[in-house]
Amino acid sequence: MSPYRDPRAPGGRQNRPTRKQRASTGSKSTTRAKSSQGAASDAHVSDGVRLQKILAEAGLGSRRACEQLILDGRVEVDGSLVTELGTRIDPETQSVYVDAMRISTQTAKVYLVLNKPAGVVSTMDDPDGRPCLAHYVNNRTERLFHVGRLDTETEGLILLTNDGELSNRLAHPRYEIPKTYLAQVKGQLAKDVGSRLKAGIDLDDGFVKVDQFKLVDSTPGKSVVELTLHSGRNRVVRRLLKEVGHPVERLVRTKFGPITLDEQRQGKIRPLRSDEIGELFEAVGL
């Protein structure tokens, strides 16, 4: 079993180290790999798919590069270190980790990120005929659903997937997934606005506080602020800023957990990279 695995934690992966800590264990993993060469892996499934092929299809490099990952002792299957190049596994039922981070092996699973424009409803079907998320994935056959919501006028990052377990965990308050927003608001901010939001505001549906807050830009009559919070309540950012006297004129979600928009253009959709999927799994203990 991996030294990073804690079976008592939800999902069994909550106590994984940071990337720096994982990197520092690389030499240990290599030593373990060399000492176990030639030993049959408990993960082997005789009629399964070769492990290096699965790694390559997950976007971790060429087949040869993925073989080297295995030989270097950086790959685990169901908590067991695998160093045999002939190892076959069942990608639909077994969990694969590279450098202690889980990768997606189920080819039927889809993970997408959309930069949603204003005016698009966060549903996969709108009975009133308004533009909705389905418009961006109407060329796909999978049944996709969105992770969380953005109100109609809010722009920015929204995730789409058919992975029900991941979606449920990302939306569950227990995992406190942070979301970051850029907001253009009316007026110039008083010096105490950030401290008030960090201390918390009592809204109609309960107490909410902001995790991080900073002023990005200020011009006469307008300000741009960035704030991060883990609450997923309806229109919570708009309500918070209105409560401190700065109604929102434009709102964009730029980050959801470890996933960022970066330079992704508005209205564009893209598949998540294998490392991004792994970071989402890690954030919710999968």
Sequence-separated contacts (24+) of 27-31 with Cβ below 8 Å: 29/72, 29/73, 29/74, 29/81, 30/72, 30/73, 31/73
- Tokens linked to 255: 């980050």
- Whole-model pTM: value is 0.77
Instruction: Say if residues 4 and 98 touch (Cβ distance below 8 Å).
Output: no
The topology under which CATH files domain 10-103 is 3.10.290
Look at residue 10 in the predicted model and tell me its pLDDT.
Answer: 33
Residue ranges of the chain that CATH labels 3.30.70.1560: 178-256
Q: Give start-end residues of each CATH 3.30.70.580 domain in the chain.
A: 108-175+266-286
Window from 1-5, 26-30, 216-220, 279-283 with minimum mean pLDDT: 1-5
- Phi–psi pair at 165, nearest 5 degrees: -65, -45
Quick: pLDDT tens for 119-169.
Answer: 999 998 889 989 999 999 988 888 898 998 899 999 999 999 999 889 999
Question: Which residues are part of the catalytic machinery?
Answer: 151
**What token pair was written down for 164?**
């029900």
- Fold designation for 178-256: Alpha-Beta Plaits (3.30.70)
Architecture (CATH level 2) of domain 108-175+266-286? 2-Layer Sandwich (3.30)
Confidence band for 198, pLDDT divided at 50, 70 and 90: very high
Nearest to 176 by CA among 284, 75, 32, 23: 284
| 18-34 pLDDT per residue, tens | 444 444 444 444 444 44
- pLDDT digit string, tens, across residues 80-91: 899 988 899 998
What residue spans in the chain does CATH classification 3.10.290.10 cover? 10-103
Q: Which long-range contacts (CB under 8 A, 24 or more apart) does 128-134 make?
A: 133/158, 133/160
Q: In this predicted structure, what is the pLDDT of residue 275?
A: 87
